[in-house]
Amino acid sequence: MAGLLFALPYVVFLCLFLLLPVVYSIYTSLFSDGVRNAFVGLGNYLEVLKDNNFQKALRIIVGYIVVGVPLFIVLALALALLIDSPLGRLKHFSKFVFFLPFAMPPAVSTFMWAFIYTPEVSPYGGIYRLFPFIGDYQFFLSRHELLSTPFITLENLTFAIVNIICWQNAGGWIMVLSAVLQNTSQELVDAARIDGANEWNVVRHIKIPLLSDTLMVMGVSTFAYVSQLVAEPIMLTSSLQLSKYYTPNYWASTQAFSSGNFNLSAAAVNLLILVVVLASGIVLRASRSIQKQRS
Amino acid sequence: MIPNPKSLVTPLNTPTKVGGSADRLRRQIANNTITSILLLYCAYFFIPILWMMIAATKTPDALTQNPLGLAGQFHLLENIQHVFSIGSGQYLRWLQNSLMYTVSISALASVLAATAGYALAVYPFRGSRLIVGITLIAMLVPSSATALPLFYAFSAITAAFPQVVILNTPLAFILPASLNPFGVYLIYLYFKKQFPPELLEAARIDGAGHLLTFFRIALPSMAGLLATVAILAFVNSWNNFFLPWLMVSDQNLQPVPIGLATWAASQSSLVVGGSTGGDQFITLADLITGGALAVVPVALVFTLLRRFWVRGFLDGGVKG
């Protein structure tokens, strides 16, 4: 009884601000034209999936997942392993610097990168001005053209935004990965080294298996973050003339906000939540069965 | 900085083959390669921040004419003054809002985590395992996924009861953002795995009631972990974009990130020149200075207290 009383505030919050909204969102998605009107079953889901803009957004987000998630994991893992390796110097300094962007509000880092992608003000664009002769060779663009050619176009936008995500978030995970390595691996690693294992074997057969659980959690949360991608595109919409249907989640909020069609919006959001819950369920189960195999 | 014990140990443990000057050379090459890769990435992570900090000290003209160089004259204070003057102190109001939101959210999130995490671990009741299960799943669903359902629900409440307005008030952001399943799970794990149950038993035998036990024994022992929860909630809510963007459309109630995005959006493309924000021009320099200022509080909290943060992650998300 005391337990329930202590837990009550949290349970109320959980119901009011997570469970009920999701239930309501499922309920809304089954009707058309507001809640009171016609029941259409799964009709809204079909309509969402048939929508041209939504299909385009889906293709775009799949591109982000395919490019972004592996790149992010490889980057964070590689840097954490380098920091943990016995060779090389400046480890503490690097870890600190890698972590700095993680403390920045994404809103700030997104438009900071937007500046860096804008040739007129970019520090990297400034390099062209330092070496004015670069533009004088005919097979290069002229200097003026270089400065007026935007760094990002719709073709490489995926990479531009993935770069922002990696830059922003890698440091946090590098901290976590290297803390796990430092906490757990010492005796095993020392023993392997005494047995004459080289660095690559230590990484391949000891460190990466030790990190497997952490890597799975990291994979799921990166996947979840990227599949719901919405804040960065919203911030870049006006400067890049992005479509307001650029990602599925953006599609859903534009439906709700601009068109006022909560039913379609809810159907799309439910699909997205379903994907995230399924993915995390699968990965959690896989990690549990791996743990069982090991013990 | 505490010296890394590993750097003291490994040279002894690493097998060194006798008489290998070629080996030593190889080792040196590996050493230098790794150091240079790390430095390269330091540049990747640090140059944008450095550039923004320098840019915030430049005059608006120097910013566009000399993007690479250092400031000709130190113009930071004038830039800050200008940022604060736009729209009769718009930016200061956003800062105030952000502070009010983040402090309320981290206080509320800590209270919820402390009471629920403790109760779920120490006094299991009917349905408590289900709540732990829901908490685990909720941890993995990003807040941007559940923001829109909240928006529908709040709109529906107002549609049904016109006098109950939640959208576009501070509560529309504060209440949902205070729900922090990760924090609850951290405290739950602590009482489940690390805290000795005999202590609570002893208190009970001494006749202490539930409330007294909680305040005198449980609360002091989880204080450090609660700091982790509060820091995480502070940083998450300071940085949160999508939820307040949906919930608070009144400019006078918005937090800094949303306000800055409005300024950025008012620039048709991020090129030179400016556009009107209220009655004054918003220039590139304003945006950069405003952005740099928004980083300061959270960077301070995060960098000074990052040990708490890593500890929280290790106890909860990774080992659990």
* A28 within a domain of the structure (yes/no): no
C-alpha dihedral, B20 to B22 to B27 to B33, nearest 10°: 180
**Higher pLDDT residue, A117 or B84?**
B84
Contact residues on chain A for B137, CB-CB shorter than 8 A = 277, 280-281
pLDDT given at position B272: 35
Q: CA B254 to CA A74: how far, in whole Å?
A: 37
User: Which pLDDT score, from 0 to 100, does residue A36 have?
Assistant: 64
What is the per-residue pLDDT across A17-35, written as a single tens digit (0 to 9) for each? 999 999 999 999 999 876 5
Q: Helix, strand or coil for residue B124?
A: coil
Considering only the beta carbons, identify the residue of A108, A262, A280 that sits closest to B260. A108
pLDDT at A284: 76
Distance from CA of B248 to the nearest CA of A (A): 13
- Which tens digits make up the pLDDT trace of A135-151? 444 344 445 555 556 66
Helices in B164-283 by DSSP H: which ranges? Answer: 170-178, 181-189, 197-205, 210-213, 219-221, 223-239, 242-247, 256-265
Instruction: Give the minimum alpha-carbon distance from B309 to chain A in angstroms, rounded to a whole number.
Output: 10
pLDDT band at B318 (very low <50, low <70, confident <90, very high): very low
pLDDT in tens, B103-119: 999 999 999 999 999 99
Q: For chain A, what percent of residues have pLDDT higher than 90?
A: 42
pLDDT band at A253; cut points 50, 70, 90: very high
**Total residues belonging to chain A:** 295
Q: How much is the pLDDT for A30?
A: 92
> How much is the pLDDT for B254?
94
B88-318 carries CATH number 3.40.50.720: no
Domain assignment of residue A12, yes or no: no
ipTM of the complex: 0.86
For the cut 70, the answer to whether the pLDDT of residue A97 exceeds it is yes
- Please tell me which of the candidates B1, B115, B238 has its beta carbon nearest to residue A9: B115
Chain A residues whose CB is inside 8 A of the B115 CB are 6-7, 9-10
Q: What is the pLDDT of residue B19?
A: 53
pLDDT tens, position by position, B283-294: 788 888 999 999
The boundaries of the domain holding residue A69 are 37-117+152-294
- Contacts of residue A186, Cβ cutoff 8 Å, sequence gap at least 6: B6
Number of structural domains, chain A? Answer: 1
Q: Which residues of A touch B111 (CB under 8 A)?
A: 9
Q: For residue A235, what pLDDT band results from cuts at 50, 70 and 90?
A: confident
pLDDT band at A125 (very low <50, low <70, confident <90, very high): low
Name the token pair of A164.
């922002």
What are B277's strand-pairing partners? Answer: B280
Composition of chain A by helix, strand, coil, percent to 5: 80, 0, 20
Nearest to A146 by CA among A161, A164, A156, A131: A131
Phi, psi of B225 (to 5 degrees): -70, -35
Q: Give B4's contacts in chain A (Cβ within 8 Å).
A: 91-92, 182
Q: Give B316's DSSP letter.
A: I
Tokens of A63: 């591109």
Predicted confidence at residue B100, as pLDDT, reads 96
With CA atoms as reference, the chain A residue closest to B65 would be: A121
Q: What is the CATH number for A167?
A: 1.10.3720.10
Higher per-residue pLDDT: B194 or B37: B37
Q: What is the pLDDT of residue A65?
A: 95
Which residue of chain A comes nearest to B110, CA vs CA? A10
Q: Would you call B153 and A24 a contact, using CB atoms and an 8 Å cutoff? A: yes
pTM of the entire structure? 0.85
Residue B101 near residue B170 (C-beta atoms within 8 A): yes
As a whole number of Å, the CA-based R_g of chain A is 24
Q: Where in chain B is the domain with CATH 1.10.3720.10?
A: 88-318
Query: pLDDT band at residue A190, thresholds of 50, 70 and 90?
Result: confident
DSSP B114: H
- B225, with CB counted inside 10 A (0-12, 13-18, 19+), is buried
pLDDT of res. A103:
82
Nearest to B294 among A19, A105, A121 (CB): A105
Q: Considering only alpha carbons, which residue of chain A is nearest residue B299? A: A103
What integer is the mean pLDDT of B168-180? 95
pLDDT exceeds cutoff 80 at A85 = yes
B179 and A13 within 8 Å at the Cβ level: the answer is yes
pLDDT digits (tens, 9 = 90+) for B43-83: 999 999 998 888 888 887 777 776 666 666 788 888 898 88
Residues of B in contact with A7 (CB under 8 A): 115-116, 119-120, 125, 128, 131
Which of the residues A4, A5, A18, A249 would you substitute to probe the B interface, choosing the one with the greatest number of B C-beta atoms within 10 Å? Answer: A18
Burial class (CB in 10 A: 0-12, 13-18, 19+), B279: exposed
CB A72 within 8 A of CB A169: yes
Which residue of chain A has the CA closest to B245? Answer: A231
**pLDDT band, residue B315 (cuts 50/70/90):** low
Mutate which: B27, B31, B45, B64, vs A, most A CBs within 10 A: B45
Instruction: Round to whole Å and give the CA distance between A266 and A252.
Output: 7
**Given this model, what pLDDT does residue A39 score?**
87
